[in-house]
Structure 1
């Protein structure tokens, strides 16, 4: 019966607009998809450190540390060191690009073509491993896998394997890609949180849970129908905004302070 009701809900677009208050248990910061842009990451972290109102807040990364950009190895080392040494809570979530790398390590012949075509070549290069299309087959791709494992080392392999897919405080959940709008957050499938859901951007949740996410590029940080989108395409723009989320609203940190983007004069129920 539950599945039938879910099906009818999706088919006929049931449910009202999202109108739950933004109520995390604590203020926190979010950084979107980095994709190997080490200079942008360092600039963003320096900006946070220089802001006394935000420097000590928990910091959540939504995943996609690697691929596409030129410095995936450096970004990975940077976030690992931050999580290990920083006194704040540093939460590193799994993105679909970390999932592609893990899938490649599990089964190189099957998963090399997809990963190589979606930024894996750039990641391998950042670890000093040059590859061509010929390296996607046979014994050669197995050799690439072993070289990558060697360059990553045990600590990075353990870090990648243990990345969570969701972090929640109060009625705010942070994920990489999105969530099934009719399933409770605690019952979401990992693949949905990492890769997204077809109804995520068109159907508001009815349980009052806000979802902060990356994965889908937006021109600017955007708040719509209980969704806070933070991926502004760092690998294309070289910029990586920091988003502050609290019961007072959603702000983007900048050189001159923070800019409030929600609530503002925009209709909060405007569709994406």
Structure 2
């Protein structure tokens, strides 16, 4: 069975604590970390979500994708295609903008100077998934960008442009990278939400919400008093992580590490 092979262990819920953050009554939230082109791992988690929704229905099931669907792994195009429709067992899907989607959109919008950096940090694999094999940055960049425009379906570009920077569900705030500490949510800058690291990661103050984020790879889930990091480096580790929130309980679903990344 694929699920038995992919999932490392049964995820037990954490003990309920009265003052822990809460999801709204009747709501179950699945937040999935950085996929980075690993369709095999995403499909395993989506199959698990569909199975749980069938066996143990909730009034409302939300799926939050934390961004960086693309680059690095082998199947960026296929991951995006999968998420053009709301997966089975999910009532509402939220797609967050990652720094890798931002970089691609900026290139498509004319920032051609960013092309070498994007290609080097995983864009080459993304373009290959769209059937674009000749991605040399030493030739005509204008011609390469034209090929990218022609090679990526308009429906995929529309999906990237529809992505949001954050979503709040109950006491949880979901973002790609994090927030700038001490700054009200309405004053947060898009660049911080998609790119921030140390200023956010090293800050232990109460943000007023529990922040759930990806972007920074850790060997396992990174649970702190004010944030939960779930980027477990799926593209190279084979472990794609989902945080499951229901009421005041939290648990994790993780794909196994036995798949070549």
**Same-fold call, TM > 0.5?**
yes
- Provide TM-score, normalisation by structure 2: 0.82
Among 83, 87, 106, the alignment partner of 1:103 is 106
Q: Which residue of 2 aligns with 1:79?
A: 83
1:22 maps to 21
Q: Specify every segment of 5 or more residues in structure 2 that has no aligned partner in the other structure, as ranges.
A: 1-17, 256-261
Partner of 1:177: 177
Aligned to 1:3: none
Count of aligned positions: 233
SS at match of 1:58: strand
Q: CA deviation at 1:132?
A: 4.3
Q: Distance in 1 between matches of 2:19 and 2:162?
A: 32
Corresponding residue of 1:35: 36
Counterpart of 1:222 in structure 2 is 222
Deviations 1:48-67 (A, max 9, x none): 11123368621100000110
Determine which structure has greater relative contact order: mean sequence separation of CA pairs < 8 Å that are 6+ residues apart, divided by chain length: 2
Cα-to-partner distance string for 1:165-186 (whole Å, 9 max, x where unaligned):
1000122110000111111222
1:67, 1:123 within 8 Å by CA — same for their partners in 2? Answer: yes
Q: Distance in 2 between matches of 1:107 and 1:174?
A: 29
Q: TM-score, normalised by structure 1?
A: 0.79
Partner Cα separation in structure 2 for residue 41 and residue 152 of structure 1: 21
Contact 1:23–1:172 (Cα < 8 Å) also in 2: yes
Distance in 1 (CA, whole Å) between partners of 2:247 and 2:185 is 20
RMSD of Structure 2 on Structure 1 (CA) = 2.2
> 1:104 Cα shift?
1.4
The superposition leaves residues 140-191 of structure 1 with CA deviations (integer Å, 9 ceiling, x where unpaired) of 2222222222222222111111210100012211000011111122221011
Distance 1:150 1:132 in 2: 14
Q: What is the CA distance between 1:136 and its match in structure 2?
A: 4.8
